[in-house]
Amino acid sequence: MKYILLLLFFFTGVLFSSTLNIKNKDNYQLIAYYEYSESNIEGNNPLEINPFSWVKEKEELSSASYQPYWVHFTLNNQTEKERRFFLTSSRSYIFSFEYFLVKNGEVSFYDKDDLFYRTSKGEFKTSYRTFPLVLEAHKKVDVFFKISNANRIAIPSQLVTEKYLLKESMLHYFLEGLFFATIMIMALYNLNLYFITKYKPHLYYLCYSFFLILYQSSAVGILHFLTDFSPFIIYLVHSIGTVGFIVAIIFFIYELFDVKKKLVNLNIIFYSIILMFFLWEIGVIISYQLNSYQYIEFFYNLINITIPIYIIFVLFILYYLFYKLKNRIAFIYAVGWSFVALSGMFIVLSNMGFIEKNFSIDYFFQIVMMVETLLLSILLAYQIKELKEKQQKQEILLLRQNRLASMGEMINIIAHQWRQPLAGINGVVLQFDVELRKAGQLNNLYEKYLDDIENLTKHLSKTISDFMNFFKRDKVIETFYTREVFDELQSIILKRLESKIVLKYTETKEIKLKSYRSELLQVLLIIVNNAIDACLLSKNNISTIIIAVSEEKDAVLIAIENDGEKIQEEIVDKIFDPYFTTKHQSKGTGMGLYIVKMIIEKSMLGEVHIYNKNDGVVVELKIKK
């Protein structure tokens, strides 16, 4: 009977070309020579498998994907000498793996190395699943695997000499060492920064690094190589690492970009994804303890389905933050994370059996994660720099607010001290008007002078009120035409306009603005007064000041241009600083343009710019409608 089975194996081997001819090479890829069977036999003797049950493609198997199946191939040593090899494969994602070596119709070697059993027959430790194999000169051997794994993922294996295995292992350990060294150095770097700054993203980054090390060391067999842990403990470490680094990276992103506050509606999705990963991994571990391949595969597939949801969720957050909030860090990280997502999808597709699993996918994932880890550290450093700059700006803003508060108090004191003399001046003017009328000496010239004095005192009183209102929080917004403000400006400034200065106003159409009218008038008064001073210093016979008003979709643009003396280039950047002036102390305090900037930017939420032009200076105001 034994010889009949051997004869049948010979013919089926010829039929499916499952024989690999061994010559003088040091390594052979074996998956192309696999043939498959789902024959359910009593015991573990592969010689009892029905020879006609073998098929060339794994997809032709009809039983459930979590059920055990057999792999067979034949090795034929065509050389004149004995060849000593090792049969190796990756440890990842295999529940049960049994190895049978058949010589001369008998099982000459048997071993197991899987989630439930750790081999004790290995000649030396390695991160690969490794079985010894000796081929006598001009002899054939049959190799059988009995495998159970989720979705019947393809299990690539190779036949290698000891020399080739050692060389490959050295390269493998070098890459793994580089990966783990990079992660650990970055982890220590961020631990140090966390102790210094107490910035939470550093803590989440540290957790992410720790769990990534657990995941990767268990996934690629490093823990098998370095420890004597049982397969269950290693798988438990793998599960903790998987969930840990996935959850840590979400917390890292949420904390780094303040997602909980900026995207409140996504919090339920955030916690749901975390809960799902915990539940699925607990399900896998319980199923593992129950030795239930069916439920292991069920929860395993739930994890692989949840991973794309997780990837889409993270990418959506990052690209949304960039698109809506113009966050450059989010964009850089989103681009980097897109490569992580790509490598993650390769792993998911291989785990689901859609693409062939091989070492290149694992190496690609490690390289991407290593680069991403470095990118995270760089972004964190950049974020700290931005936080420091933001803190400095807040300190400056607080200083300015204190100054404004002091100025507000000072204005109230000035208002109290000035209003009585101004009222007195108005009283004197009224009395003077009455006396002139009684004496019959009031003529048009005197009446004009008295009206001018009264208008100027009114303007001074209104200016004080405007400055007091500037420091109030409950200011009233008005709707007005820009032309009206110019007319009021012209009436006030008319006395300063000498015969050599012309003030012009242009607008593309009648423009209406909803803002603080009095404050805009104060801004224009300050800028036009400065323009008049510049024109008086110029050598032009006739100088022109032009106020040009136009509008955009959501803003009104006001350009005040003069052809007077230009601003020196070295002081342009300081022109809006408080107490900075180029005038004599009797003519200026350096607060005018600072007040302009504060009113436009803080009160009207607009922008102000100043620059030299070929024939003068331009001040541009951009005010939201």
Q: Would strands 129-135 and 83-89 be described as parallel, antiparallel, or unpaired?
A: antiparallel
Q: Find, among 83, 238, 85, 88, the residue nearest to 169 by Cα.
A: 88
How do strand 27-29 and strand 616-624 relate by DSSP bridges? unpaired
Q: Tokens representing 277?
A: 């990963």
Token pair in block for residue 491? 């009436």
What are residue 608's DSSP bridge partners?
621
Question: Across 194-340, where does the E strand assignment appear?
Answer: none
Give the whole-angstrom CA distance, residue 206 versus residue 189: 9
In which residue are the tokens 């550093």 written?
Answer: 202
Do the beta carbons of residue 98 and residue 146 sit within 8 Å? yes
CA 172-213-234 angle, 5° bins: 85
CA dihedral 122→126→132→138, nearest 10 degrees, is: -170
Q: Whole-angstrom Cα distance, residue 514 to residue 482?
A: 10
- DSSP 3-state of 614: coil
Q: Classify residue 613 by burial, with Cβ atoms within 10 Å: 0-12, 13-18, 19+.
A: exposed
Q: Which domains does the chain have, with CATH numbers?
A: 2-160 (2.60.40), 166-396 (1.20.1070), 475-624 (3.30.565.10)
Query: Of 211, 197, 181, which is closest to residue 380 (Cα–Cα)?
Result: 197
How much is the pLDDT for 466? Answer: 64
Number of C-alpha atoms within 13 angstroms, CB side, residue 489? 25
Tokens linked to 460: 């001074």
Lookup result for tokens 């200083």: 399
Q: How far apart are CA 542 and CA 525, in angstroms?
A: 21
Contact residues for 55 (Cβ-Cβ < 8 A; gap 6+):
16, 35, 36, 37, 61
Instruction: Name the residue with tokens 């770097």.
Output: 189
Hey, is 440 helix, strand or coil? coil
Residue 9's pLDDT is what? 47
- For the beta carbon of residue 519, count every other beta carbon within 10 angstroms: 21
Cross-strand bridge partners of residue 148: 96
Length of the chain (residues):
625
Which pair of structure tokens corresponds to residue 412?
A: 């109230």
101 phi/psi in degrees, rounded to 5:
-115, 120
Which residues 6+ apart lie within 8 Å of 330 measured at CB?
Answer: 257, 318, 319, 321, 322
Give me Rg for the CA atoms of the chain: 42
- Residues 488/529, Cβ–Cβ less than 8 Å: no
pLDDT score at 135: 93
Q: Pseudo-torsion of CA 458, 463, 468, 473, nearest 10°? A: 110
Q: Tell me the CA distances in angstroms from 239 to 288, 301, 555, one per residue in order.
A: 12, 14, 56
Question: What pLDDT is stored for residue 16 in this prediction?
Answer: 46
Rounded to 5°, the CA angle 248-277-117 comes to: 105
Whole-Å CA distances, 26 to 262, 276, 359: 58, 46, 18
- Whether 516 contacts 603, CB under 8 Å: yes
Mean pLDDT by 10 residues, the chain (625 residues): 48 58 92 89 81 87 85 94 90 78 90 74 71 92 89 85 86 82 85 83 87 84 79 84 86 83 83 90 85 84 88 86 77 80 80 71 78 76 73 69 67 73 79 78 77 79 68 72 88 74 87 86 88 83 89 89 84 76 58 83 87 87 87
CB atoms within 10 A of CB 172: 21
CA 241 to chain CA mean position, Å: 22
Alpha-carbon gap, residue 401 to 378, rounded angstroms: 34
**Residue 212 Rama label (left phi>0; alpha psi -120 to 50; beta):** alpha
Which residue intervals of 440-481 are DSSP H helices? 444-470
| pLDDT (0 to 100) of residue 85 | 93
pLDDT number for residue 12 = 46
CB 293 within 8 A of CB 148: yes
How many Å apart are CA 351 and CA 154, to the nearest integer?
9
